[in-house]
Amino acid sequence: MLLAGIGFIGASAILTFSGSQIMMTTSRTESVSAARTLLTQYKGVVQEEIGRAIVAATVATSAVEGVVTDRQLDRDELGEVMTRIIKGRPDLVGMTLAFEPDALDGRDAEYKQHPYSDATGRFVPYFFWTPDRAIGVERLVMTKEAGIENWYEKPLKERQTLITPPYIYPVNGRDVLMTTVSSVVRRGGDGIGIVTADLALNKISEVINGLKPFGEGSVALVGSGGLWVAHKDSNFLGKAANDKLLTELAEKIDDTGFADATVTAPSGVELYRAVASIDFPGVKEPWLLSVSVPADAMVAGALAARQLMLLVAAGLLALALAGAWLAARSLARPIVRMTATMQELASGHTSVEVMDKDRSDEIGGMAAAVQVFKDALIAKELTAEQAAREADAKMRRAQALDELTQRFEAQVSALTQGLASAATEMEATAQSMTAVANQTTQQSVTVSSAAQQTSANVQTVAAATEELSISIREIASQVGQSSQVAEK
């Protein structure tokens, strides 16, 4: 066991010595490789930060496009969708949803006083975080003088997602370096508006400035339009990157996304300069990340950097794998559920429950948009059902009234015929009584018999009179029932 331990230590010593010799002879190659690895890691930091804003704009665009397919949409529903999405993104400064004139629903003139519309009724709200962390809303001024070219006109014209050049903008009383991600809202393939996500660059600028590759180097970041996003001299922020070597290296970037060179600074110090392009999903124009390190510092720190990078890489790999697994688990299932829910709603099954509405991320925003669609569908169904019930009730009342009218007419006809018959009988009886009266003085011997006949005739008249009274009451009753039906 002791011999084995000694042998292991000896072998380790030999390997360590051999490795140190190899490291010394290949330090320059290793340092360049280490620099590229560091650049890759720094790129990941930038892509993650800017990528969150791109995801927010893309998710909001998808949610809005799902709502605007119905031209009978409610503008307040769109405002609710945007409010829900920005509530789940406290890292953003604000978000815009702006449409071309009359492109939303063709009814701008009806919404001149709407809280999300300008004086012409055009839908142009901007949702932002207030100092007390509430969601504020203001209506944008859509003119060239107001600076809409980069974030609105250009992406609509080019029909693609854009990231604006960095700019200084006052936020809650202080100047903030910002950029805007603009995503095109489409209906039927045509661009009808823009969704934006405004991101403050102060944080990423501070992170980049805090990076010290090999202990003595510096890192700088160039955004859209060739303007500085991060620089060791804060006076350069938001200004054009007039760095000749940076421009030359950017033109030499190869398929790996890198270009580098060793140059001599005016001070006589040998510097290693490297540039990497940073690509964002769906965005045409890349950003540039630049590293500048004294060549001596790179060689001296190559071994330490390599060991550190191995440890960092192992940790990052473990975190990345765990994060990817958790992300896939947390995103795939809600998306599958949401797809199934949309299919159920498309089939008219409004009883299906919309899950994940309470989530504060993009999934929650999409679920909220699906809930808005479901509520609108239910409202339409209820309106249609109510209209059908009212039409059916009207039809039943009309049928009942028609039947009652027919019965009434038949009964009135029968009663009228009865009255006519009774009147005829009364007339005949009266004539008979007149004849009897005329014969009374001449036939006194038959007085008793005539008196009996007269009594019978009087009873007949009384019976006819009673029948006439009953008929009149029946007619009055039928008229009353008809009035009640007509009132219903």
Highest mean pLDDT among 26-30, 417-421, 477-481: 26-30
- CA separation for the pair 264, 62 (Å, rounded): 51
In 3D space, the residue among 171, 91, 168 whose CA is nearest the CA of residue 131 turns out to be 171
Question: β-strand 167-171 against 162-163: which pairing, if any?
Answer: unpaired
The region of weakest confidence among 134-148, 161-175, 336-350 is 336-350
pLDDT bin (cut points 50, 70, 90) of residue 30 is confident
DSSP per-residue codes, 119-168: TT--B-EEEEE-TTS-EEEEE---SGGGT-IIIIIHHHHHTSBEEPPPEE
What band does 187 get if pLDDT is binned at 50, 70 and 90?
very high
Look at residue 479 in the predicted model and tell me its pLDDT: 57
199 pairs with which residues across the strands? 179
pLDDT over 90 percentage in the chain: 42
Side by side, which strands form the sheet with 258-264?
228-230, 218-222, 287-294, 270-278, 258-264
Nearest in space to 139 (alpha carbons), one of 156, 155, 122, 151:
122
Ranking 34-38, 177-181, 227-231, 237-241 by mean pLDDT, the lowest is 34-38
**How many residues does this entry show for the chain?**
488
Contact by Cβ (8 Å): 253, 259: yes
φ, ψ for residue 227, nearest 5 deg = -105, 145
Q: What whole-number percentage of the chain has pLDDT above 70?
A: 74
At residue 299, the pLDDT reads 73
What pLDDT is recorded for position 485? Answer: 55
**How confident is the prediction for the chain on average, in pLDDT?**
81
> Which residue type is seen at 300?
A
What is the pLDDT confidence band of residue 178, given thresholds at 50, 70 and 90? very high
What confidence tier does 5 reach under pLDDT thresholds 50, 70, 90?
very low
Q: Residues near 303 by Cβ (< 8 Å), separated by ≥ 6?
A: 20, 23, 27, 30
Tell whether the model's pLDDT for residue 362 goes beyond 80: no
pLDDT digits (tens, 9 = 90+) for 9-26: 555 545 554 555 555 456
State phi, psi for 177 to the nearest 5 degrees.
-75, 125
Identify any residues that bridge with 191 across adjacent strands, giving them in sequence order.
186
Least Cα distance to 249 among 293, 298, 290, 296 occurs for: 290
Phi, psi of 47 (to 5 degrees): -65, -35
Question: What whole-number distance in Å separates Cα of residue 290 and Cα of residue 259?
Answer: 10
Exposed e or buried b per residue across 349-379, where buried means at least 16 C-beta atoms within 10 angstroms of its C-beta: eeeeebbbbebebbbbbbbbbbbbbbebbee
More confident residue, 209 or 11: 209
pLDDT of residue 4: 45
Strand 125-129 to strand 135-139: parallel, antiparallel, or no bridges (unpaired)? antiparallel
DSSP at 352: S
- Distance (Å, whole) CA 268 – CA 250: 24
CA distance 361 to 89: 7
Among 172-181, 243-252, 461-470, which is the least confidently predicted range? 461-470
Q: Which pLDDT belongs to residue 11?
A: 55
Our CA angle for 133, 139, 145, nearest 5°, is 115
A 10 A CB-CB count for 179 gives 27
C-beta of residue 231 within 8 angstroms of C-beta of residue 237: yes
Could you report the per-residue pLDDT of 379-427, keeping only the tens digit for each?
Answer: 877 887 888 888 888 888 878 877 877 886 777 677 667 666 765 776 6
Whether the predicted pLDDT of 486 surpasses 90: no
Sign of the CA dihedral with 21 first, then 23, 28, and 29 last:
positive
Using CA atoms, how far residue 209 sits from 203, 237, 245, in Å, is 10, 12, 20
